[in-house]
Structure 1
């Protein structure tokens, strides 16, 4: 009887050991769902599909892309926040995730508690653009007119709280000028109005603008990052153009539901970093003007919190509210 008891105890112990084996050893055993909070064809979608293809090869399981647009990315994020923390439902977020608590009074989730940061995947600067025939030849020209005629200028941006909106507000905040923001549903419509002479200035991202820049129909007055963009090395930064310390851009990262096992989050983070740095993926993202990063989860967590603290005073000063 005693021998049977110890035999059963050993068997139970073995089963518990197998069940509690590190989650990363069994992941993934089925398709992984990757939510994209933005429409197909944009920079985030391209990044998500490129990463998903490479992870599918690495994991031997499909990574199923699902575009869930709307409400500044909060719809897709809400789905992930309410999912099981097993790694099978993930979301690629953009810069707006860190500032949504300032824009929306009642978010359907806690930005920090309800997610597991996995990796800061990449980043890219935005640019201050004018049409090729614009009277503005430099950023100094823009700032001079903005100071001489406060409120007379406007700039196009791709929606309330987007990185292009924040780029414009940061310029106003640091240069102490008043320029009116004009919101568009994406980068393409505002570029059309810029080329048509309906707005004098535009903040836009590199992937949506680089074709017109290389064709000569758009001119870059300043790149928003601290360093010049690798794909446009002859274009100056806004800091170089007369606003020292100016530095911002768009970034993208991967989140899972809150409470994911640390070893599982670390495995996905490591796999993402390896996927991003394969020559084919890196080349494709470089062509879009995106700097490949692939950080650890704790590094990404700190980054999100730093972004939240950075933008608070600027958003409050500008009175920005979500739609």
Structure 2
């Protein structure tokens, strides 16, 4: 099984500390109007992935500082759409939140009938962190570059097997774009979380998977995967030798960000209190250290900053969609 990341190990230890803090209570929590009861952060992504691990770290730290239960409810059996709809219609008391990423916005822009509207049905609480997404294969594939892998697949008329860590996940969106731009036969298998998707790759059952950098680094140290490209605007400082997908001719920018939203009618005072506690948790020295060590950049800030990130995602998605449409409509080049 893949080695656990620093985020995962920290979250397990501090969940126990959070429980102890709840037993002792806190005058600060007792005096505050918010939270006034258990807070649940919902995510459709299973254990082992960056989304779940990030929310677990933050929830544990908030539980300790508030003396109030803050937990993560992971439901990989549910889609992002069904979970977003459930959170949007929950009581607007700041005790029901949704962990969101790029895909939360992209899915709604790509399909207006998806069942929720990210800007009207929710209020942003704040960003948590940003990460990077790398495309990898397994050493047994016998290739050292994406060009080699795609070239061999075309010449041999071979199907490439790709794994995502959940329908509507960040990896699912990136793979969909790569499949269209590369014009290869590449069916995607959706796993319930990043860990089983990576395990399938390591077992040779899949050929390609996008992995968040925190989970990638232990695998690289063990030489268990081969990095092919980064889905970012520029090369990663942690993997400077790995080209971006744009450099390789595939303009795919899919740098994951993560944040929290609550139902649209949540009062200003509650959002402000939630944001303040969220930023305090992200800024805690131990949390900050663990996130940075794992390759995730902490990003505390205002609710407006998360809204800006969401709007930037809309713009980026539309630019990429136009580029894809132009590429697909261009006359085929003669061989």
* TM-score > 0.5 by shorter chain: yes
| TM superposition score normalised by structure 1 | 0.76
Identify unmatched segments of 5+ residues in structure 2: 1-30, 328-335
Q: What is the match of residue 200 of structure 1?
A: 207
Task: State whether structure 2 residue 165 is matched by structure 1 residue 158.
Answer: yes
Q: What is the match of residue 261 of structure 1?
A: 267
Q: Distance in 2 between matches of 1:158 and 1:187?
A: 4
C-alpha RMSD of matched pairs (Å): 3.3
Q: Distance in 1 between matches of 2:204 and 2:56?
A: 35
* Paired residue secondary structure (1:180): coil
Cα 1:189–1:53 change in 2 (3 A) is closer
Q: Does the CA-based 8 Å contact 1:165-1:181 persist in structure 2?
A: no
Cα 1:227–1:105 change in 2 (3 A) is closer
Q: Does the CA-based 8 Å contact 1:37-1:93 persist in structure 2?
A: no
Deviation at residue 254 of structure 1 after TM alignment: 0.3
Cα 1:278–1:126 change in 2 (3 A) is same
Q: Does the CA-based 8 Å contact 2:165-2:171 persist in structure 1?
A: yes
Task: State whether structure 2 residue 118 is matched by structure 1 residue 111.
Answer: yes
Deviation at residue 55 of structure 1 after TM alignment: 1.6
Identify unmatched segments of 5+ residues in structure 1: 1-23, 319-323
Cα 1:238–1:171 change in 2 (3 A) is farther
Matches within 5 A, 1:141-152: 141-145=148-152, 152=159
The more displaced of 77-86 and 120-129 is: 77-86
Name which one, 1 or 2, has greater alpha-carbon Rg: 1
Q: Does the CA-based 8 Å contact 1:140-1:241 persist in structure 2?
A: no
Aligned mate of 1:129, from 132, 136, 139: 136
The more displaced of 302-311 and 238-247 is: 238-247
| TM superposition score normalised by structure 2 | 0.74
Q: Distance in 1 between matches of 2:302 and 2:266?
A: 14
Q: Distance in 2 between matches of 1:30 and 1:161?
A: 31
Cα 1:195–1:70 change in 2 (3 A) is closer
Task: State whether structure 2 residue 277 is matched by structure 1 residue 271.
Answer: yes
* Paired residue secondary structure (2:187): strand
* Paired residue secondary structure (2:71): strand
The more displaced of 221-230 and 127-136 is: 221-230
Q: Distance in 2 between matches of 1:193 and 1:265?
A: 40
Deviation at residue 239 of structure 1 after TM alignment: 4.4
Aligned mate of 2:301, from 288, 295, 305: 295
Task: State whether structure 2 residue 61 is matched by structure 1 residue 73.
Answer: no
